[in-house]
Amino acid sequence: MLLALSARPRSGLGQVSSAAVPADSVTAALGLFGLTEDGLQMNGRFSRGNTTVAAGDTVRGPLVVVGGTAEILGVVAGDVLSLWGDVVVRSGGTVIGGASAYRGRVTLDGGRVRGPMGSWQQSATGAVATTPPITRARAVTLSTGWTAMFVGMGFMVLVLLASNLEATARVIERDFGRAFFVGVLGQLGFLPLLLLTCVALAVTLVGILLIPFALVAGPVALAGLITLGWLALALVTGRALVGGPRDGASRREALRALTLGVLVLMAPWLVAAALQGTGMAALLGGIVALAIAWVAMSVGLGAALLSRAGTERRQHADRPQSPLQGWQTPTPIAGVAAARRPIPARPGGTPQ
């Protein structure tokens, strides 16, 4: 008699009516755990409403209960999962695997669960468990991969757009502050400019057809300018550390300076990755890396805009001038030499 009473589900366990649980929500929730309702029913391990594993009984898990409480007094040789309900392990009950409750809770009432236990309150369409934080090894791998990618991009730019890179780098060397200011203005004005462009194109029928192209070409052009400017800043940084000639340097020397500059600009991210998982130190490292990256991006964008993506010709003052430049010798026309103006004779002298 006492055994029969103890096997009955108690009313104070927060039981949920299975009728209130939509079928599609059950399917979605099972999918989050990698399970299907058909596969569970075939093995006799799926039930709706309150379910009790009596003392002395053994169930080959996993045991899944939907819309009710899974009360364990016997043995479940696997996992126990309750959807929209609770899992209660009574005295004498044992769960060989883990116990999980979706939109419910797991309670040990004298029983034992050998595996992990967990409760989730998210909706059926959301993730059951939050994404685990990124590990230090993965953070270092990602930062190293980005660094290698930027070095490869720098090599391609040196091969294909060396003159554009040099022109952008000269702007940074000439006026760093102005490049930063123009870069900030470029970031603030990009979206309004893109919106005005779309409005202007919408005036005509042909322009309406070009709006999708503008929406794609605008961000791509901005990304290209930022990349060119960032690599130019890396080149300037590397040359400042290495020393040596600026213009006229070999491509090998430029590649060495560019690689060193990329390593310097990416060093804050590598340090932040190495500090991953250290709490406040990792947070401060990420903030510093983000701030340095924003300044570098702003300076690079401003330099690319000022140099017109590196197509602007060097200023007149930057070009070496020939001492003979600025005047011309009279050129003979049709084979006749230019006549010399007679020089007035001095008093008492003979005219020439």
State the pLDDT at residue 34.
56
State the pLDDT at residue 290.
94
Structural domain boundaries, residue 273: 136-314
User: Is residue 237 one of the residues assigned to a domain?
Assistant: yes
User: Is residue 321 one of the residues assigned to a domain?
Assistant: no
CA pair distance 288, 282, nearest whole angstrom: 10
> Which residue's entry shows tokens 């983000």?
290
Q: Does residue 44 share a domain with residue 90?
A: yes
State the pLDDT at residue 116.
82
Residue 174 in tokens: 């000439």
- Looking at this protein, which amino acid is placed at residue 113? V
Least confident of 13-17, 143-147, 169-173: 13-17
Q: Does residue 153 share a domain with residue 113?
A: no
User: Is residue 187 one of the residues assigned to a domain?
Assistant: yes
Question: Nearest to residue 108, comparing CAs of 67, 71, 59, 56?
Answer: 71
Q: Does residue 263 share a domain with residue 168?
A: yes
State the pLDDT at residue 99.
86
User: Is residue 26 one of the residues assigned to a domain?
Assistant: yes
Q: Does residue 173 share a domain with residue 41?
A: no
State the pLDDT at residue 264.
94
pLDDT digits (tens, 9 = 90+) for 131-162: 445 778 888 999 999 999 999 999 999 889 88
pLDDT digits (tens, 9 = 90+) for 310-342: 887 544 444 444 443 444 444 454 444 544 555
Residue 234: pLDDT band by 50, 70, 90 thresholds?
very high
Contacts of 166 (CB under 8 A, 6+ apart): 247, 310
Q: Averaged over 151-176, what is the pLDDT?
A: 91
CA pair distance 128, 161, nearest whole angstrom: 49
User: Is residue 322 one of the residues assigned to a domain?
Assistant: no
User: Is residue 229 one of the residues assigned to a domain?
Assistant: yes
Domains identified in the chain, total number? 2
Residue 231: pLDDT above 90?
yes
The pTM of the full predicted model, rounded to 2 decimals, is 0.54
Q: Does residue 170 share a domain with residue 61?
A: no
Q: Does residue 71 share a domain with residue 177?
A: no
Residue 122: pLDDT above 50?
no
Cβ-contact 60, 77 below 8 angstroms? yes
pLDDT digits (tens, 9 = 90+) for 58-103: 887 678 888 888 899 988 888 888 888 889 999 888 888 888 888 7
